[in-house]
Structure 1
């Protein structure tokens, strides 16, 4: 079920649609109309941080989209890793909801968590990605390259650099996010980083090679069991006396 079946969205003055993020959201049908994601208020949603990571960019866009649909004001809660996010979501003091990219290595664990359930999905492009340095160029030889596991494949961008990938002996420097990878370069702990445009800009790095962003599927996980007041209304086929069960 897509959002246009549920909300027309508020009309902007003059009839113009001022929503800056007009992507559709695909809702898990059994959660409609009970999902708190469709009700006003404030909601804490966790994802991979800090500010500037691709996940935080996607969460900001989701916040704009939900606000346009009459949903809650999103309060971002950044975590250093998706493993920490998984442990915190739904726990005491943690956010009730989590935003996870389909490309995350541990995304499957969110599906199988007994505390969580998929509420919605949407697609939005990532920022530009590339290999960034502090200096004006890449130096031939040993290259300490900071990256998180999911973006290692972008080392292939070096094939487009002068002399190709063969000029470098790659030494991997593990990073927890694109922003962390850029920070490692800024601190001198790596020679280059596979990072995104916000990471490059925040740490004043230079892209030596880069590529445009790509459409990414994002998943919103919420509580496995909604409160009684938030449960979906049974359809007519479930009103014949038999107890309604969420299927």
Structure 2
């Protein structure tokens, strides 16, 4: 069960504070986790997600960090990984981040739920950037089209149906990418003709959207340690002895 939490304990909202919060989305917490969650304590918190800078996951992590700071929580230190599989292996292990941010659309999201080291700590909804098919110059040449994309974003090839001539003029040759930013990089390196990428990826690699669509609301999940250390001031269960 979850409940909406709009402020941390002992944090007073003011009109000025509300106006200064650029990411006023609610975060949903498991009630039993609120009193001892590091997500509500000042300090520094390392959170891993799919990188590098500019991926949709890193954009969402930046928004989460801003929101937690506004609630009186920690400063978030992003820890980027090349894949969610690498993140899953690292989070909660020695030297790895304690927390992971995973989008609901990630193909391997279910594995985070079933990891014995992790449990769901919080969720929130935040929109993705604009997505589209980007190339170095206006217009895509018909014929074989080497299209770099994540597996999760392959369906966006349907955007070509709205391009001049439609999708029928292209023979798609898929080029696997590890992230939206990596997909755009593959185009800039000449290893693909076009990429399914987001607006930060397009801009970083100086590509142009041939067709695009607005971002969509996405559910993001924050996974933390399966067992949290008990704080010194925590109340003991009824019937226990000190």
Normalised by the length of structure 2, the TM-score is 0.94
2:178 maps to what in 1? 176
The structure-2 alpha-carbon separation of the partners of 1:131 and 1:228, relative to structure 1 and needing over 3 Å to count, comes to: same
Cα deviation 1:111-148 (Å, max 9, x = unaligned): 00000010000000000000000122111010000000
Gaps of 5+ in 2: none
Q: Which runs of 4+ in 1 moved over 4 A?
A: 5-16, 230-234
Cα deviation 1:56-108 (Å, max 9, x = unaligned): 00000000000000000000000000000000001111000000000000000
1:158 maps to what in 2? 160
Instruction: State the alpha-carbon separation in 1 of the partners of residues 233 and 48 from structure 2.
Output: 23
Instruction: State the alpha-carbon separation in 2 of the partners of residues 112 and 230 from structure 1.
Output: 29
Equivalent of residue 57 in structure 1, options 30, 55, 59: 59
Question: Within 5 Å, which residues of 2 pair with 1:80-91?
Answer: 80-91=82-93
Instruction: State the alpha-carbon separation in 2 of the partners of residues 215 and 232 from structure 1.
Output: 37
Cα deviation 1:182-208 (Å, max 9, x = unaligned): 000000000000000000000000000
Gaps of 5+ in 1: none
Answer whether contact 1:31 1:231 (CA < 8 A) is retained: no
**Cα distance, 1:232 vs. partner?**
6.7
Instruction: State the alpha-carbon separation in 1 of the partners of residues 62 and 90 from structure 2.
Output: 20
**Cα distance, 1:7 vs. partner?**
4.4
Paired residues in the alignment total 239
Equivalent of residue 104 in structure 1, options 106, 116, 120: 106
Instruction: State the alpha-carbon separation in 2 of the partners of residues 24 and 99 from structure 1.
Output: 16
Instruction: State the alpha-carbon separation in 2 of the partners of residues 183 and 111 from structure 1.
Output: 31
1:21 maps to what in 2? 23
Instruction: State the alpha-carbon separation in 2 of the partners of residues 172 and 5 from structure 1.
Output: 45
Question: Within 5 Å, which residues of 2 pair with 1:64-213?
Answer: 64-213=66-215
Instruction: State the alpha-carbon separation in 2 of the partners of residues 232 and 151 from structure 1.
Output: 45
Residue aligned with 1:32, SS: helix
Normalised by the length of structure 1, the TM-score is 0.92
* Aligned-residue CA RMSD (Å): 1.9
Instruction: State the alpha-carbon separation in 1 of the partners of residues 33 and 206 from structure 2.
Output: 44
